[in-house]
Amino acid sequence: MPTQDLILLAMDASPTLDLMVKAFNASEFEVAIVHDQAGLDKSVQQSTPALMIVGEFFNGEDGFSVSTGILERFPTMPIILYAEKDTPGLAQHVIKTGISGYLHPPLKMEDIVNEVRRTLTRARKLGDWLRREVRRTTASLEQKAQISEAERGKLEAIISNIQDGVLVLDESHRILMANKTVYEIFSLNGSPILGRYLKDVIPNADLSALIDRARNGALKYHEINFDDGRVYNAQYTPLPRIGSAVTMQDISYLKEIDRLKNDFIHTVSHDLRSPLTSVLGYMELIERVGPLNESQHEFLGRLRAGVHHMTSLVNELLDLGRLESGFDTRRETVDLKNVLEYSLNVFDNQIKKKNLQMTCEFSENLKPLRANPIRIRQMIDNLVGNAIKYTPDGGAVKLNLSMQEGQIVFRVTDSGPGIPPDEQNRVFEKFFRASNRPNDVEGSGLGLAIVKSIVESHQGRVWVESKVGVGSTFIVLLPMHE
Ligand code: ADP
């Protein structure tokens, strides 16, 4: 036999209450009566009524507030309010409170039972709909969870099998994830590294340098060199709300090709030097062995300029070779301000000839640097020389030397033609000359490659910020701890 629906009456004693009890007893409902708030709370909790009828005045309290209290805890509970009389605004108040219906005298038993049946039917429909919605939402959530689990699995398989090393760190540099390649790169032999601090389990100086400097925004790439000749290009990417990721590609073969190319250039340059010296020598002799006519003089002059140009190219190539081979280890105390002033003296004529507006700024706290003075002079000459060379007549060149966070910062700003964005990194490559440079400006395309090698041999960094038609700023950072 199906259990009967329980109707809970929260009403003060009255003839209407008696009438209601009689009506429910005569129909399919069970009935329970409470006369105060405590009884009401207990009954609602324990006997789970199907519907409640609350008196407009209940044990000295307002029936509307009593109903609101119930609905806050049981939002789907059907409640009928019994009002002593129908007043204007009663229906509106009932709707606003979220009460399902209301009764008021005159009442017959069948009015009471009919209203209760109607309200229960409506409540059941609402309940069914809610259950269906919950089932539908749960099913769709489960499906989504399954999809995202499958996606996660796929992603994990991809990350763990790709050839590049992928390392994910949290904000305090504990390892959150490392793929197979990372274990191979650092010969970790499957030792447990997850959850541990990077510096404890992978104490690699190049990797630490990348992470330390990347955090300050100074560096995004760094080469990781191993004693066995392997070289990896490591790239740092900040991951918001996670920490960071470091990806590593094996570039050993590119380095090897680069080394072979450099060896070749070095050998050729070396072999060219002696014949060039003898060509120059014989050219000097030609003039001594007999008189030359005007044309011969002119041709000889052109030959001499050509041979000088070739000689300086060969010397620059040899220089680069020496720098790249890492033999350049001479270190002395260098006063950068002095070096810069000497360099400017050399360019004085050109500055005047081009009518350039030169400005120099030196910060007070400049400290001497441990460096190779000849190389530093070469670096400054190249950068200042380029600024003067590429800036049109009447333009401006600004030099600035300062100290920031233990690093020397040297900036050379000019109002020259600028460098197109996609070529800004390439100007540091050997023989690269930007597409928008004025045609009449001579050069070999080696100056900035030499600058880069010098700066890197002092553990520094150089880059350019430039806007076509506005000018360029070359920036050099040199760490003091060198
Ligand atoms: P180059 O002998 O051609 O000057 P560099 O290696 O010194 O060789 O410079 C490479 C290229 O970078 C130059 O050919 C030029 O296109 C560009 N460049 C260098 N410095 C500047 C500058 N201050 N303003 C504009 N372009 C520059």
Confidence band of 253 (pLDDT split at 50, 70, 90): very high
Residue bearing the CA closest to ligand 1, atom 25: 418
C-beta separation of 310 from 272 below 8 A: yes
| pLDDT at residue number 218 | 57
Confidence band of 264 (pLDDT split at 50, 70, 90): confident
447 burial type by CB count under 10 A (0-12 exposed, 13-18 middle, 19+ buried): buried
Question: Please, what CATH class does the domain formed by 139-250 belong to?
Answer: alpha beta
Q: Which residue has the tokens 């197109």?
A: 420
| pLDDT at residue number 475 | 95
Distance 478 CA to ligand 1 centre (A): 21
Any atom of ligand 1 within 6 Å of the Cβ of 437: yes
**Highest mean pLDDT (candidates 135-144, 378-387, 432-441):** 378-387
| pLDDT at residue number 249 | 95
Distance of alpha carbon 217 from alpha carbon 409, whole angstroms: 15
Confidence band of 219 (pLDDT split at 50, 70, 90): low
| pLDDT at residue number 313 | 86
What amino acid occupies position 297?
H
Average of per-residue pLDDT values in the chain: 90
Q: Cis before residue 106, ω within 30 degrees of 0? A: yes
pLDDT average, residue stretch 257-267: 85
CA dihedral 98, 101, 106, 112 (to 10 degrees): -140
In terms of pLDDT, which residue wins out, 144 or 328?
144
Question: Please, what CATH class does the domain formed by 254-324 belong to?
Answer: mainly alpha
What amino acid occupies position 107?
L
Is the pTM value of this prediction over 0.85?
no
Residue bearing the CA closest to ligand 1, atom 17: 434
The residues, any chain, with a CB within 8 Å of residue 255's CB and separated by 6 or more, are 231
Question: Please, what CATH class does the domain formed by 332-479 belong to?
Answer: alpha beta
CATH entry 3.40.50.2300 includes domain 6-126 = yes
pLDDT average, residue stretch 251-257: 91
Any atom of ligand 1 within 6 Å of the Cβ of 447: yes
pLDDT average, residue stretch 241-264: 90
Distance 477 CA to ligand 1 centre (A): 19
Q: Which two tokens stand for residue 387?
A: 């600024």
- Sign, CA torsion 92/97/98/103: negative
Residue bearing the CA closest to ligand 1, atom 8: 445
Distance of alpha carbon 130 from alpha carbon 127, whole angstroms: 5
DSSP codes of every residue in 328-340:
----EEE-HHHHH
If phi over 0 gives left and psi between -120 and 50 gives alpha, with beta otherwise, what is residue 201?
A: alpha
C-alpha distances out from residue 95 to 48, 98, 101, Å:
23, 5, 8
Distance of alpha carbon 44 from alpha carbon 40, whole angstroms: 6
Q: Which two tokens stand for residue 181?
A: 């390649």
pLDDT at 273 over 90: no
Distance 414 CA to ligand 1 centre (A): 12
Q: What is the DSSP letter of 175?
A: E
**Integer Rg of the chain from CA:** 44
- Sign, CA torsion 106/108/110/113: positive
Q: What are 96-132's pLDDT values in tens digits?
A: 998 999 999 998 999 899 999 999 999 999 888 988 9
Task: Classify each residue of 101-135 as buried b or exposed e, where b means 16 or more C-beta atoms within 10 Å of its C-beta.
Answer: bbbbeebeeeebbebbeebbeebeeeeeeeeeeee
Distance of alpha carbon 312 from alpha carbon 323, whole angstroms: 16
Any atom of ligand 1 within 6 Å of the Cβ of 387: yes
The residues, any chain, with a CB within 8 Å of residue 66's CB and separated by 6 or more, are 10, 37, 40, 54, 58
Residue boundaries of the structural domains of the chain: 6-126, 139-250, 254-324, 332-479
Distance of alpha carbon 62 from alpha carbon 59, whole angstroms: 9
Distance of alpha carbon 347 from alpha carbon 344, whole angstroms: 5
pLDDT at 365 over 80: yes
C-beta separation of 316 from 382 below 8 A: no
Confidence band of 1 (pLDDT split at 50, 70, 90): very low
C-beta separation of 237 from 244 below 8 A: yes
Pocket test of ligand 1: the residue of 433, 454, 464 to mutate, having most ligand atoms within 8 Å of its CB, is 433
Any atom of ligand 1 within 6 Å of the Cβ of 448: yes
Stretch among 197-211, 218-232, 294-308 having the lowest mean pLDDT = 218-232
C-beta separation of 168 from 176 below 8 A: yes
Domains 139-250 and 254-324 share a fold: no
Distance of alpha carbon 377 from alpha carbon 76, whole angstroms: 84
How many DSSP H helices and E strands does the chain contain? 14, 19
| pLDDT at residue number 79 | 94
C-beta separation of 460 from 479 below 8 A: yes
Of 308, 398, 287, nearest to 344 by C-alpha is 398
Pocket test of ligand 1: the residue of 427, 436, 473 to mutate, having most ligand atoms within 8 Å of its CB, is 427
Any atom of ligand 1 within 6 Å of the Cβ of 450: no
Q: What are 322-354's pLDDT values in tens digits?
A: 887 777 778 889 999 999 999 999 999 999 999
Distance of alpha carbon 406 from alpha carbon 28, whole angstroms: 89
Q: What are 50-79's pLDDT values in tens digits?
A: 999 999 999 899 999 999 999 998 888 999
In terms of pLDDT, which residue wins out, 4 or 33?
33
C-beta separation of 64 from 97 below 8 A: yes
45 burial type by CB count under 10 A (0-12 exposed, 13-18 middle, 19+ buried): exposed
Q: Which residue has the tokens 């006997």?
A: 47
Of 319, 311, 318, 313, nearest to 279 by C-alpha is 311
Bridge partners (DSSP) listed for residue 8: 32, 52
Q: Which two tokens stand for residue 205?
A: 């100086």
Confidence band of 482 (pLDDT split at 50, 70, 90): very low
Of 198, 200, 201, nearest to 246 by C-alpha is 198
Q: Which residue has the tokens 């992978």?
A: 202
| pLDDT at residue number 158 | 86
Distance 431 CA to ligand 1 centre (A): 10
